[in-house]
Structure 1
Amino acid sequence: MAAVVLPTVSPAAAHTGQAGPPPCPGGSVCFYSGSDYHGTSWEWTAGSGYRDLPPALHDNVGSFVAGTDACFVNWDPKETRQVHNGDWRRAYGSDFGGRVDGVNGGTC
């Protein structure tokens, strides 16, 4: 009997019926002001250390794609969210994306 190999699909893609996120270079996190990777975009690189998000994305991250481990930070009140290489969110604005102020590399 032959084995059947099925392609793997991320749970988020399977749930929405949509393809995965756009590419984001390794060592970076790509942020978008709108959901579904639309709107103003900005690429943060791990080598740049902590950075405040630009004004268009401050408290306004609608979606993101992580090409590295990073820590999203909200300063008031202080909260953090750990993301890992390969993580992505198509709709993040009603979650922590509506509060995130900055990003740092590594673990929170």
Structure 2
Amino acid sequence: MKLRYWSVAAALSLTALLMPAADAAAAPPAGPPPCPGGSVCFYSGEDYHGSSWEWTANSGYHDLPPKLHDSVGSFVASTDACFINWQPKETRTVHNGDWRRSYKGDFGGKIDGVNAGHC
């Protein structure tokens, strides 16, 4: 039986081919998607996936649509806003530039409505 040996050059070439894939897997996730100024963009899933809805500050208070009521997986705020849970009443102020890629396990699992400005 004849044994085959890898040459050092072949082993280094294989390592070089695999390294970019390892670096890409370790790259940090990208920032949030854009959301128009004066708005908060809500998503039912984490990482800005699933059903979405755009609330605008100049529209005043709104209940979240049924698909997002107590079920906001992620959001991007391009304005100041107040997130509201009615029972028991709790609020969270978000600011222009705030975003959360995973929010359902936090206040996103409670949110009922949104209003303009600070809480």
TM-score range, shorter chain: 0.7 to 0.9
Unaligned runs of 5+ in 2: 1-26
RMSD (Å), alpha carbons: 0.9
C-alpha distance in structure 1 between counterparts of 2:28 and 2:43, whole Å: 21
C-alpha distance in structure 1 between counterparts of 2:86 and 2:28, whole Å: 35
Please state which structure has a larger fraction of its residues in helix. 2
Which residue number in structure 2 is paired with residue 100 of structure 1? 111
Which residue identity is paired with 2:107?
F
Identity over the aligned pairs, expressed in percent?
Answer: 78
Q: 2:40 aligns with which of 29, 42, 63?
A: 29
C-alpha distance in structure 1 between counterparts of 2:61 and 2:81, whole Å: 10
- What per-residue deviation string (whole Å, max 9, x for no partner) do you get for residues 12-63 of structure 1? xxxx811100000000000000000000000000000000000000000000
Structure 1 or 2, whichever has the larger Rg, is 2
What is the TM-score when the length of structure 1 is the normalising length?
Answer: 0.85
Which residue number in structure 2 is paired with residue 55 of structure 1? 66
Where do 4+ consecutive residues of structure 1 move more than 4 Å? none
C-alpha distance in structure 2 between counterparts of 1:24 and 1:105, whole Å: 16
Which residue number in structure 2 is paired with residue 3 of structure 1? none
What secondary structure is seen at the aligned counterpart in 1 of 2:30?
A: coil
Q: 1:83 aligns with which of 70, 94, 97?
A: 94
Which residue identity is paired with 1:39?
G
Which residue number in structure 2 is paired with residue 68 of structure 1? 79
Which residue identity is paired with 1:93?
K
What is the TM-score when the length of structure 2 is the normalising length?
Answer: 0.77
